[in-house]
Structure formats: C-alpha cells, structure tokens
Structure 1
Amino acid sequence: MSSFKGSYRYAVDEKGRVSIPARMRKYLSPEANETFVITRGTETCLFLFPLDEWEKLENRLKELNTFNPEHRFLIRVLLMWAVEVTLDNQSRIMIPRNLLEFAKIEKEVLMIGTLDKIEIWNPDIYEQYIASQPENYEKVVEKVLGMK
C-alpha cells in the first residue's frame, strides 16, 4: 500500500520526461512493478497512480452504475486520459503531450504526495490554487479533522 508524502520540484525535459523522486519511489510496492497510470486530475493537475493503486481505483469504477450519467461521465473522462507509464533506467516517466498541455506544464513540475497517488502540477498554477482557497489552512484543519 502506497503512502506518498512530501513535495518536490523537478525539471521536465523536451520529451516530457520527469524523474520520480527517490523518496517517493521507496513507497512503491513490488506489485506496482515500477509502473504507473497517469491521468487527468481534478483542478489543473495530473494524477500519477502506482499500478496496484490504479487497479484498486478501477475496481471501484467497475462498481459504478453506467446507467447513471454522472458515473458514466467520470468513467469516460478519467479513462480517456489514462496512460500506463513505466520508470526508465534513470527513474523517469514520460508524460504524454496531451496531459502536459492539460496541466499547463512546460519546464518544471511540482510533485505532491497525496497518500495513494502523486499529484503533478505546474508550480505557478499550484500557488494560484492555494491562494484562491476561501479558507486558510488552519480553519480547514479544524473543520475537517477537528484539530486546533
């Protein structure tokens, strides 16, 4: 079971390759076989799931009611963007051009560990996202986790 955490900035080369940080790679289970599924995330980011975590998500998707319009929409959008990628011998993945364009990623990425997946952001867009939140971090912690 993955438990990604932390944030890291990395360069993206002209082919769309980016290194996966060693501190994140250590949380890959052997079942992932150094393989990920990358897809469109929420907001303007990408989701990078280790293969074993992606399979858990796929199983949840299979339980959805395809006669429900919201369920169909989620399945279609999530899966139409999904691409399987494998670490190369330099611990990099190649992000497909259409996903780079969706996330407005050009020369640098911000990778954020979010437990079962890694989010990949354009660092400037992530800063805008954080600045646009209606409540500050302390209030959200208190509201969601009941902690002060």
Structure 2
Amino acid sequence: MLMLSFIGRYKYAVDEKGRVSIPARWRKSLSPEANETFVITRGLDRCLFLYPLDEWEKIEKRLRELNTFNPEHRYVMRVLLMWANEVTLDNQSRIMIPKNLLEFAKIDREAVLIGTLDKIEIWNPEVYEEYEKGQPDYETVAAKVLGSR
C-alpha cells in the first residue's frame, strides 16, 4: 500500500471567493478513496488543516475513541469538528476555504501550503513568518526530536 506523503511548500493566490489551488504533485498522490474530497478544519498555531477524506476518516476514528466524559477530550472534539467542512476540488483543481476559516487563519490574498505527510497546512504567509521567527534554532530542535534515542 502506498503511503500518502504531502511534502514541500507552495505559495498561491487566494481569489475573492476564497478559492486556492492544490498543487498537481499533491493531487497525483491522492488515493481514489479520497474522491478529490478533503476535510478542512481549524489547525494549530493559527493555520488550517486540510485532510484528504480517507485521512480524515482516520482522525474521526481516533475522535470516536475519546472519552466524552473527559472535559479535555470533549473540548478537542468540539473545536475540531465545529470548524470542519468537506470541500471538493473544482474543475480548476481548487478548493474553496469557508469564510470563517479564512478569518480564523487571517488568510486574505495569498496562502502558503505546507505538506506535513498526511495533511496540508494552509497559512497566511505573514503569520507563518512570525511563527517561524518565534521558534528555537532548527538544528537544536532537530537534534532533540530526531537525534539518537
């Protein structure tokens, strides 16, 4: 079975209706089960998460395993799901980002799309730049996270 791998970074214009293109390389790696459909929702650090439908189903499975009597579990479930929308590629290989998500992520005329293996993150370019500036030295973090165990 082929593993889905969204990698790379792309910058695209966002039109007045909130539509943004999905890179051809990423579209080619979609599974037939995704049916050119994604779920877009609120992400972390002021970005949006865009999951192919089949990958979103794995998130739903994890959510179904949460304990709804645990307040933290309920909160994560509510936030993730209340922002979630199904979107499908149009004839020009674009998705339409709902207005409330554009506002949440402060996305206006441009978006940076970042591949993070099983999903795509969509950022306002300035917000992403500020996020990067606030991070510690990459080499230090990489050594800590990926270094020998």
Bucket of the pairwise TM-score, normalised by the shorter protein: over 0.9
Tell me which amino acid in the other structure corresponds to 2:80: L
Q: 2:51 aligns with which of 49, 52, 60?
A: 49
Residue 9 in structure 1 maps to residue 4 in structure 2: no
Cα distance in 1 for residues equivalent to 2:8 and 2:101: 22
Structure 2 counterpart of 1:103: 105
Helix, strand or coil for the counterpart of 1:70?
helix
- Offset, 1:16: 0.4
- Offset, 1:51: 0.0
- Offset, 1:66: 0.3
Structure 2 counterpart of 1:65: 67
Q: Between the two proteins, what is the percent identity of the paired residues? A: 76
- Offset, 1:27: 1.5
Q: 1:127 aligns with which of 126, 129, 133?
A: 129
Cα distance in 2 for residues equivalent to 1:85 and 1:21: 15
Structure 1's unaligned 5+ residue stretches are none
Cα distance in 2 for residues equivalent to 1:86 and 1:130: 30
- Offset, 1:26: 1.5
Cα distance in 2 for residues equivalent to 1:126 and 1:69: 30
Cα distance in 2 for residues equivalent to 1:146 and 1:82: 35
TM-score by length of structure 2 reads: 0.96
Cα distance in 2 for residues equivalent to 1:18 and 1:105: 11
What does the per-residue CA deviation read over 1:77-106, in whole Å, with 9 as the maximum and x for residues that have no partner?
A: 000000000000100000000000000000
Cα distance in 1 for residues equivalent to 2:75 and 2:66: 11
- Offset, 1:19: 0.5
- Offset, 1:15: 0.3
Structure 1 counterpart of 2:92: 90
RMSD: 0.8
- Offset, 1:122: 0.2
Helix, strand or coil for the counterpart of 1:141?
helix
Cα distance in 2 for residues equivalent to 1:129 and 1:96: 23
- Offset, 1:125: 0.5
Helix, strand or coil for the counterpart of 2:15?
coil
Helix, strand or coil for the counterpart of 2:78?
helix
TM-score by length of structure 1 reads: 0.97
Structure 2 counterpart of 1:141: 142
Cα distance in 1 for residues equivalent to 2:123 and 2:83: 16
Helix, strand or coil for the counterpart of 2:122?
strand
Helix, strand or coil for the counterpart of 1:124?
helix
Tell me which amino acid in the other structure corresponds to 2:104: F
